[in-house]
Chains A and B, each alone.
Chain A
Amino acid sequence: MAEVLVVTSGKGGVGKTTTTAALGAALAYDGERVVVVDFDVGLRNLDLVLGAERRVVFDLINVIQGVAKLSQALIRDKRLDNLYLLPASQTRDKEALTEEGVARVIAELRTRFDWIICDSPAGIERGATLAMRHADAAIIVTNPEVSSVRDSDRIIGLLDSKTARAERGEFVDKRLLITRYQPTRAARGEMLTIDDVLEILSTPLIGIIPESEEVLRASNVGSPVTLNNALSAPARAYFDAARRLRGDDIAMLVPSESKSFLNRLFGRKAA
C-alpha cells in the first residue's frame, strides 16, 4: 500500500526540503520504493539538495499538462536505485498546478511507489494546499521558536480541514518533526523544550533533529544528510524518524555528535 506523506510547515526555512531529502533517502536505504515530489513551483530546490539539479529535463507541470510522461520526468537517484525525484517547474506559472492534474499524478505514483513524499512550499497558498491535498500522513517541520510554532498550528488546522481525507471525514496522520533543536539551550531555558512544543501543538512527535553543521555540509555537496554522513547526529535522528514512519518502535532520543576527549573538555564553551 502506497503512503502519501506531505512535509509541510507554513513557515519557510525550517527544513522541509532537507527533511524530504533526508527521510526519502533513509526510507529508500531501508529498501522502500520512494519518490520525492517538489511542489514549490517557481522556487524548486529539492533537485539541488539531492544533487540532481543538472539532470532535470521535465517536471511536475510538464506531466500535469501532458507534455511529458511521468516516466520521462522521474529522475532516479545516482546513489540509491529505488529513490526517485519528481522536480518542480522553474516557470512562474503556478496556475498550471491544477487540482485534477495533481490528483492524476499522485494516483499514478501510488501504483509505482511505497512512499510518495510531497515537499510543500512555505505559506498556505495553492502550492501548499495542493501538496497536502492527497496526503495520508503529514510531517509538520517545526523549529523550537515562536513564529514556527504558530505557523505549524495554522498548518495543523489546514490538514484537519482542507485535505481530501478531512473532506471525507477521515484524519490525516499528523506527526511533528522538531528540527534545529539545541538541548543545552533548552535546558538553560533559552529555547522552547520538546515538551513545550508538544504541549502547545498537541501533536505526536516523529523525531527530533539536533542543530548541526552536517545539514549545511550535506546540502553544499548535494547529498541528503542521511547519505552524506550516515553516522552524524542529524542523520541518525532522520533514520530513527524514517523507521518510526515504517512503524518501528524506537526510543525518542536526541542524538548528539560523538565528541573526542578534547572536544568534551573544551566543547562546553561552544555549546
Chain B
Amino acid sequence: MNLFHLLRRGSAPIARERLQILLAHERVARNQPDLLGILREEILEVISRHVAYEPDKVQIKMDRGRSVSTLEVEIEIPNGFGGAMLRVF
C-alpha cells in the first residue's frame, strides 16, 4: 500500500488487511500448539546439545505472513568452535 493509495482510499483498507492476517494466525494458534514457537525451542535445544552458546547471542526473527511464515534463528558460536555464525532459516 503506497502513499497514493493511502491518500486516495484512506487507511481503513490497511487496517482490514492487517487484521485479517493477524486473526488468521491467532485463531489457528488458539486451537493448536504454536508451530513456530515449538520449532524455535527445539532448534535451540538441538544446537545446545552440541555447542555452548550464550543465550543473548541468539537472534530470533519471526515473520507471519498471509500464506508463508518465516523463522530465522541466528546464533553466534564462540571461537572455540571455529567462531562460526550459524544461521537456520
Chain A residue numbers with a CB within 8 Å of B19 are: 146, 149-150, 200
The verdict on A213 contacting chain B, using a C-beta distance below 8 Å, is no
Cβ B12 vs Cβ A190 within 8 A: yes
Chain A residue numbers with a CB within 8 Å of B42 are: none
Cβ B16 vs Cβ A192 within 8 A: yes
CB contact under 8 A between A189 and B12, given known A146-B18, A157-B30: yes
Chain A residue numbers with a CB within 8 Å of B26 are: 150, 153-154
The verdict on A92 contacting chain B, using a C-beta distance below 8 Å, is no
The verdict on A186 contacting chain B, using a C-beta distance below 8 Å, is yes
The verdict on A193 contacting chain B, using a C-beta distance below 8 Å, is yes
CB contact under 8 A between A193 and B12, given known A153-B26, A157-B27, A157-B30: yes
Q: Give the distance to chain A from B1, nearest Cβ to Cβ, in Å.
A: 12
Question: Chain A interface: which size bin?
Answer: 10 to 19
Chain B residue numbers with a CB within 8 Å of A257 are: none
Q: Which of B10, B11, B20, B30 contacts A200 (CB 8 A)?
A: B20
Cβ A153 vs Cβ B27 within 8 A: yes
For A182-203 the 0/1 string (1 means CB < 8 A from B) is 0000101111110010001000
Chain A residues touching B, majority SS:
helix
Chain A residue numbers with a CB within 8 Å of B15 are: 145-146, 192, 196
Q: Which of A149, A189, A190, A193 has the most chain B CB atoms closer than 10 A to its own CB?
A: A189
Q: Tell me the B10-32 residues at the A interface (CB within 8 Å).
A: 10-13, 15-16, 18-20, 22-23, 26-27, 30
The verdict on B50 contacting chain A, using a C-beta distance below 8 Å, is no
| Number of residues on chain B facing chain A (CB within 8 A) | 15
Chain B residue numbers with a CB within 8 Å of A157 are: 27, 30
What CA separation (Å) do A145 and B13 show in the bound complex? 12
Chain A residue with the shortest CB-CB distance to B13: A189
Q: Give the distance to chain B from A155, nearest Cβ to Cβ, in Å.
A: 12
CB contact under 8 A between A150 and B30, given known A189-B12, A190-B10, A190-B11: no
The verdict on B49 contacting chain A, using a C-beta distance below 8 Å, is no
Chain B residue numbers with a CB within 8 Å of A189 are: 9-13
Chain A residue with the shortest CB-CB distance to B5: A189
Beyond A154-B26, A193-B12, A196-B16, 14 additional pairs, beta carbon < 8 A: A146-B18, A146-B19, A153-B27, A157-B27, A186-B12, A188-B10, A189-B10, A189-B11, A189-B13, A191-B12, A192-B12, A192-B16, A200-B19, A200-B20
List chain A positions with a Cβ less than 8 A from chain B: 145-146, 149-150, 153-154, 157, 186, 188-193, 196, 200
Q: List 17 A-B contacts (CB under 8 A).
A: A145-B15, A146-B19, A150-B22, A150-B26, A153-B26, A153-B27, A157-B27, A189-B9, A189-B12, A189-B13, A190-B10, A192-B12, A196-B12, A196-B15, A196-B16, A200-B16, A200-B19
Chain A to chain B: the 9 pairs with minimum beta-carbon distance, closest first: A189-B10, A190-B10, A189-B9, A196-B16, A189-B12, A146-B15, A153-B23, A192-B12, A157-B30
